[in-house]
Structure 1
Amino acid sequence: MADVGTSTRKRQLLVLRHAPYHGAAARAAVDLALAMAAFEQDVELLFLGDGVLQLLKDQAADALGRKSLGRILSSLPLYDIERVYVDAAALARFAIAADALVLPVEPLAEAEIHALMNACDQLVSC
């Protein structure tokens, strides 16, 4: 007989692809990640393509009348979101160094990105 009190937590990956202030998609994806974490879901984030721009430290969000996504993302460890991956090719394309990011990330090559996506139970592309 199965133990009703135990549950298997699923590995969930959110893929963030949008530039930080081009529409509402980037902010909505970050809000989704925080909400999932608040409900004790295991959440991992992968920033692909233009999405890596969300991780930059010095964002001029105030000039646009918005809150800085970089500041919000820097709080991810407070929500126990500690597995954050980035597209290494996108970092190179934008010439972004690791010290220019708001939090530590793990750069992944294309093959590693595919392996990560295949290893997750649920994949949400934002």
Structure 2
Amino acid sequence: MTRKTLIIVRHPPHGSSWAREGIEAVLVGGALGVPVDVLFDGDGIFCLLPGQEAGALGQKGTLPMLKAFPMYDIDTVLVSRPALEARGLKADALAIDGDVVEPRDCLAHYHSILTF
């Protein structure tokens, strides 16, 4: 098994700092050369929608950070199929491309898993 890390973002982009911190962890891993993938699950998939501007509390939007993934060699973005379906969303409505997956089917492929 490759010593790869999966970072799961489960929180929405606004209301707390969890999603932003998760995305920052992905970018830090990429900057340090750590093999890292990211899975957006639960309300975390709202981070992937277009139009993510600053939140009501002045929180920065997450979309610019997501668009930086290729510069940090983050090639694998996973999107939870059950999370999309539960929220009535389609993958083609997302602002960045990702592989739609069943989370339980891919978790065993990772050495470390961090959840935000």
TM-score in terms of structure 1 length: 0.83
| Correspondence for 2:95 | 102
User: Which amino acid in 2 is paired with 1:118?
Assistant: A
| Correspondence for 2:81 | 88
Superimposed CA distance per residue, residues 100-123 of structure 1 (whole angstroms, 9 cap, x where no aligned partner)? 2121101112xxx22311111111
CA distance in structure 1 between the aligned counterparts of 2:84 and 2:104, rounded to whole angstroms: 17
CA distance in structure 1 between the aligned counterparts of 2:2 and 2:34, rounded to whole angstroms: 7
Q: CA RMSD in A?
A: 1.8
CA distance in structure 2 between the aligned counterparts of 1:23 and 1:92, rounded to whole angstroms: 24
CA distance in structure 2 between the aligned counterparts of 1:94 and 1:59, rounded to whole angstroms: 17
Identity %: 30
| Correspondence for 1:70 | 63
Q: Does 1 or 2 have the higher relative contact order (CA < 8 Å, sep 6+)?
A: 2
Q: Is the 8 A contact 2:45 2:84 kept in 1?
A: yes
Q: Which runs of 5+ in 1 are unaligned?
A: 1-7
Count of residues paired in the alignment? 116
1:9: Cα distance to partner? 6.1
CA distance in structure 2 between the aligned counterparts of 1:43 and 1:21, rounded to whole angstroms: 24
The farther-off stretch of 55-64 and 18-27 is 55-64
CA distance in structure 1 between the aligned counterparts of 2:91 and 2:105, rounded to whole angstroms: 22
1:64: Cα distance to partner? 4.4
Q: Is the 8 A contact 1:55 1:102 kept in 2?
A: yes
Q: Is the 8 A contact 1:73 1:102 kept in 2?
A: no
CA distance in structure 1 between the aligned counterparts of 2:49 and 2:26, rounded to whole angstroms: 18
TM-score in terms of structure 2 length: 0.90
Q: Which runs of 5+ in 2 are unaligned?
A: none
